[in-house]
Amino acid sequence: MSEEGERLIEEARAALREFEDLLYELRDYERRRGEVLRMFSTGQVTREVYEKLMGELRQKMVPLVRKYFELKSRLKSMESQLNVLMTRLRVEVKTSSEFLFRLSYERDQRMRQLLNRAGGTLEDIQRALKSVRVERELRFLEVMLDSIQGEGIKAWRGVVREVVEEWSKARFAYASKVGEIERQIESLRDSLRELEVRFLVGEFDRAEYEARRAGLERKVGELQEQLERRQERLEDLDLVAARCRELL
């Protein structure tokens, strides 16, 4: 068990390093896509240039996205294997003290060290897998949509279904945040109406009224910008999810 466990941990560590390096590389391309989109939205480049640059970036990202989902699947498999390994080790260490036969001190220490290493590796894998939010995975799939053809659709169906289901769960929290911002805006508008009434009945002079109104309007404006960004992002992600569902 010791050699098998050591081998599993080393393989998991290697896969984890590869996964983290890949995420770093993907993040670089994501930044480039964001910059190209910003330049297009501000009129710095034409649609023709925008589509050409985005097409080039998409082409370069396709093999990286494929590798991402392959590594994710591999890490999830190793997560399961590590859980099994840790259970076996716990049983062996615990039961050895309950019988006349006891592990030698050296072997007992090796088992405990292996258990600690397996636990640390498992935690690192779980942390890495949780670090990628479903919104980002939807963007990864968006890159792949035009590349998944023929038999590729069947091969990718499981991945697509998993991401779309996760988005359905995450979307509720996302939409709830939109609703929360809307309620905050409405509350501030109520405060503005109340402020105007209090000014009209002479509770404030004009200078204080204008200062208070400006502060409330500034907060409304900031929240309105947040709301619009979130609504646009939500609609955009819903559109990607809808395109993904067409493959199911």
Residue 42 phi/psi, 5-degree rounding, is: -95, 5
Q: How many CB atoms lie within 10 A of CB 71?
A: 19
- Give residue-wise pLDDT tens across range 31-60: 999 999 999 989 999 999 999 999 999 999
Tell me which fold the domain 1-132 belongs to: Methane Monooxygenase Hydroxylase; Chain G, domain 1 (1.20.58)
Q: What is the per-residue pLDDT for 95? A: 73
Distance CA 97, CA 120 (A): 24
Q: What is the per-residue pLDDT for 92? A: 80
Distance CA 187, CA 248 (A): 42
CB 89 within 8 A of CB 1: yes
19, two tokens: 């996964």
The pLDDT-based confidence of 17 (bands split at 50, 70, 90) is: very high
DSSP 204: S
Q: What is the per-residue pLDDT for 110? A: 80
Q: What is the per-residue pLDDT for 98? A: 54
Q: Which residue would you say has higher pLDDT here, 193 or 100?
A: 193
Q: Which residue would you say has higher pLDDT here, 88 or 151?
A: 88
Q: What is the per-residue pLDDT for 149? A: 67
Please, what's the b/e burial string for 162-177 (b: 16 or more CB within 10 A of its CB; e: otherwise)?
ebbeebeeebeebeee
Q: What is the per-residue pLDDT for 212? A: 94
Q: Which residue has the tokens 């939500």?
A: 234
DSSP 1: -
pTM of the predicted model over 0.85: no
Domain positions in the chain are: 1-132, 133-248
Residue 100 phi/psi, 5-degree rounding, is: -60, -40
Q: What is the per-residue pLDDT for 97? A: 60
- Give residue-wise pLDDT tens across range 106-125: 677 788 889 999 999 999 99
User: HSE on the CB side for 36, CA within 13 Å?
Assistant: 19
